[in-house]
Amino acid sequence: MIKQILHKSNRDYKRFTTNPNIRAVKVGHLTIGGGTPVVVQSMCSSDTRDVKATLAQIHRLVDAGCELVRVAVPDERASEALPDIIKEAGCPIVADIHFHYKLALEAISAGVAKVRINPGNIGSPDRVKVVVDAAGAANIPIRIGVNSGSMPQDILERDNFKVTAEGMVDAAFREVELLESEGFNNIIVAMKASDVSVMIEANRLFRCKSNIPLHLGVTEAGLSGYGSIKSAIGIGTLLLEGIGETIRVSLTAKPEEEIQAAWWILEATGVRRRSPELISCPTCGRAEIDLIELTKEVEKMLKGIEIPFKVAVMGCIVNGPGEAREADIGLVGGKGKGLVIRRGEIIHSVTEDELLPMFKRELDKLCQEYKADK
């Protein structure tokens, strides 16, 4: 039955998984790459040494839909807090390590699911080897982070002190080769730039050369509004090309806002969906109903529903029925009256006052049919 109910949304299910030819990397109970769904992650802004505050933030992130959380480990006190955080987190924890290789060892010993390092700033090859050996023994991956703000000096000089996509890829492979020379292949790579075009091209180039899973993000994207748009362009472009196995939207905002933006990107690209997609027409001079308020009321009805069907709200009797035909369920508002549509068919023509209650009744039926089929 559900295949008939979700006649349009079915096409999206085929896009809910990543490229199966990408190397699969386990991070706790999650798998990144290997044909699994794109993983959503964020980073705590709390002081890791404050276990209570960090756990509270992690739980808010998980409730918002975050699946993997990174925490900063700048010193020994932070590493000492990790066991208590990991125990109560409710999701895999990634340790963010810079400069101090012993902190990486302590984080691995504490039970983190992944460590994020830049091997180039950890120290000598001997120190890198110690970290690699510890990660290998614990069977956890290392994420190599290449950031446009901290590129290797020799590569910057080579490229006339400009951050280029080619330079970022060269920096990434320099670190990859260092780990692989130690027999370590449990790797994820991130190449992030604040310049969207550089970020896109770097990830494209890397994917042409390697099947290592890629973590996508536009670094230093900015405040929520503009930053979300930059991130959507960068991350969304690559996801539509089949590139990227895990994402973070990096905003100057509360981490929970990053998760909302991340899911919007996944859902807008059709790469992954966890809730109904609401489409609504723009306002225009033909509309004879309060379309904005009508759409907000439908949005409230959809809150908490975890079924990936498509819902249409249209305010024009000229184009509305045709546009709503693409949805699993929809409504069209007109002057003093409206239509309720399911699977392309008009099933009710009612007065304006009856429109929302009738739509709600049909929406409930659709959800019940889905649950019965499950």
Residues with Cβ within 8 Å of 290's Cβ and at least 6 positions away in sequence, in order, are none
* Res. 144: pLDDT tops 90: yes
pLDDT, residue 91, reads: 96
User: Which residue type does 265 have?
Assistant: I
Q: Average pLDDT, whole number, for the chain? A: 89
Q: Where are the domains of the chain?
A: 12-269, 277-373
Cα separation, 265 vs 292, in Å, equals: 22
pLDDT, residue 26, reads: 97
Q: Which residue has the higher pLDDT, 118 or 314?
A: 314
Beta bridge partners of 314: 332
Fold type of domain 12-269:
TIM Barrel (3.20.20)
Q: Which residue has the higher pLDDT, 289 or 47?
A: 47
177-180 own/partner pairs: CB under 8 Å, 24+ apart: 178/119, 178/125, 178/128, 179/119, 179/128, 179/132, 179/142, 179/144
Specify the CATH number of the domain 277-373: 3.30.413.10
- Indicate the SS3 state at residue 137: helix
Name the pairing type of β-strands 214-216 and 187-192.
parallel
Q: Which stretches of the chain are DSSP H helices?
A: 2-5, 10-13, 51-64, 76-88, 101-110, 119-122, 125-138, 153-158, 165-180, 196-209, 224-240, 255-269, 291-302, 320-324, 352-373
Which among 13, 22, 6, 340 is positioned nearest to 209, based on CA atoms?
Answer: 22
Q: Which residue has the higher pLDDT, 143 or 371?
A: 143
- How are strands ordered across the β-sheet holding 337-342? 277-280, 310-314, 329-334, 337-342, 345-351
pLDDT, residue 10, reads: 35
Cα separation, 98 vs 315, in Å, equals: 54
pLDDT per residue as tens digits for the range 246-294: 999 999 999 999 999 999 999 999 899 888 999 888 877 666 778 899 8
User: Which residue type does 320 have?
Assistant: G
pLDDT, residue 98, reads: 85
pLDDT per residue as tens digits for the range 82-101: 999 999 999 999 999 988 89
Name the pairing type of β-strands 114-117 and 142-147.
parallel
Cα separation, 184 vs 25, in Å, equals: 12
